[in-house]
Amino acid sequence: MEQFFQTCEWRLVDESNLQSRSPLASFAMDDTLCHLVGHQLTTPTIRTWVHKESVVLGIQDHRLPFIEQGMHLLNAQGYTPIVRNSGGLAVVLDPGVLNISLVISEKEQPLSINSAFDMMVQFIKMLLPEIAEYIEAYEIVGSYCPGSYDLSIGGKKFAGISQRRMQGGIAVQIYLCIEGSGSERAELIKQFYERSLQQEETKFQYPRIEPSVMASLQELTGTNMTVVDLNLRIQQMLQQRGINWVLTPLKSTENELYMYYLQRVLQRNQSMLAK
């Protein structure tokens, strides 16, 4: 899979300094890049993004019996809840969490769902060679937004991976808890589910959060690793491995497409929250 990264030039879109924007803007950006890459209007893309305190809810979360009370709790704790346009469950975003999207074309490189996940796992191991041998990918029971490609060290989860496919493009997205306390983030989501469920029986099985199974990379490595450090490391890693890349923000014509997808995402989120 490492050879895949060297088969073409990569576009790098760094939006880690746009923390004041809503995460909805980031999901619109990935939709835009899926469209552009899927239609072969731009090269495969690596995008990095960071946001202020937010909780991104999945569609199933929005169906919780007491969701309004749960969202009130999040607001009271200083977190803004939004509903994303893809699967998965509640995820915490804050300035200590780095998000990375790898966007590729299904036309150029058809990938199964698992192969796309494997691509991201390989990317993270390339990015963190000093701990690569300790990183495992399997579901961490008791974590928030659990999945078969949770990344962990010693049974403690520090990252989760999702993907979105549209317009011939695949966006593989990962959140990396780098700074701060992973268990404190998990405790917030535990309280959210407790407030939103209130022990009522539901058809969908929501996760029972055990905060102790989650940690940040700072905690796991015993270092002062930061979001800024890891973001810069991406460019250094690409250079060291001889992978061609260019740092390119959206062009004016691409920005028009972005505004279209942003409007769609905002309208969808507004309609979901209104229900």
Contact call for residues 66 and 95 (beta carbons, < 8 A): no
Least confident of 105-114, 130-139, 249-258: 105-114
**Could you read off the pLDDT of 6-27 as tens digits, one per residue?**
778 899 999 999 888 889 999 9
- Kindly report the backbone phi and psi dihedral angles of residue 97, in degrees, each rounded to the nearest multiple of 5, phi listed first: -115, 125
- Ordered by start, the domain boundaries in the chain are 2-274
Say if residue 135's pLDDT is above 80.
yes
Measured N-to-C along each axis, helices 252-274 and 23-38 cross at an angle, to the nearest 10 degrees, of 130
As a whole number of angstroms, the distance between CA 266 and CA 54 comes to 15
Catalytically annotated residue among 8, 34, 145, 177 = 145
246: confidence class by pLDDT, cuts 50, 70, 90:
very high
The tokens of 275 are what?
Answer: 């229900």
The tokens of 105 are what?
Answer: 């074309």
Query: Which residues does residue 177 pair with via DSSP β-bridges, in sequence order?
Result: 97
**Could you read off the pLDDT of 206-234 as tens digits, one per residue?**
999 999 999 999 999 999 999 999 999 99
Q: Which CATH architecture has domain 2-274?
A: 2-Layer Sandwich (3.30)
Over residues 154-159, mean pLDDT: 98
* CB half-sphere exposure, 178, CA atoms < 13 A: 21
Q: What's the pTM?
A: 0.95
Say if residue 275's pLDDT is above 80.
no
189: confidence class by pLDDT, cuts 50, 70, 90:
very high
Handedness of CA 26, 28, 29, 31 (dihedral sign): positive
Residue 157 has what pLDDT? 98
The tokens of 180 are what?
Answer: 């701060």
Q: What is the CA radius of gyration of the chain?
A: 18
Angle at 231 between CA 229 and CA 234, to 5 degrees: 110
Helices (H), 39-155: 67-76, 113-127
Instruction: Classify residue 92 by its DSSP letter.
Output: E
Least confident of 6-20, 23-37, 127-141, 193-207: 6-20
2: confidence class by pLDDT, cuts 50, 70, 90:
low
Contact call for residues 270 and 263 (beta carbons, < 8 A): no
Give the DSSP letter string of 203-225: SS------GGGB--HHHHHTS--
Residue 271 has what pLDDT? 76
Assess whether 8 carries a catalytic annotation: no
Contact call for residues 97 and 228 (beta carbons, < 8 A): no
Say if residue 273's pLDDT is above 80.
no
Residue 202 neighbours by CB distance under 10 Å: 12
Give the DSSP letter string of 139-168: --TTSSS--TT-EEETTEEEEEEEEEEETT
Q: Give the burial class of 274: count Cβ atoms within 10 A of its Cβ; 0-12 exposed, 13-18 middle, 19 or more buried.
A: exposed
The tokens of 9 are what?
Answer: 């030039």
Residue 251 neighbours by CB distance under 10 Å: 11
**Could you read off the pLDDT of 88-114 as tens digits, one per residue?**
899 999 999 999 999 999 886 678 999
Over residues 238-246, mean pLDDT: 91
* Beta pairing, strands 45-49 & 10-15: parallel
Listed in sequence order, the residues at least 6 apart from 266 whose beta carbon sits closer than 8 Å to its beta carbon are 24, 28
Say if residue 5's pLDDT is above 90.
no
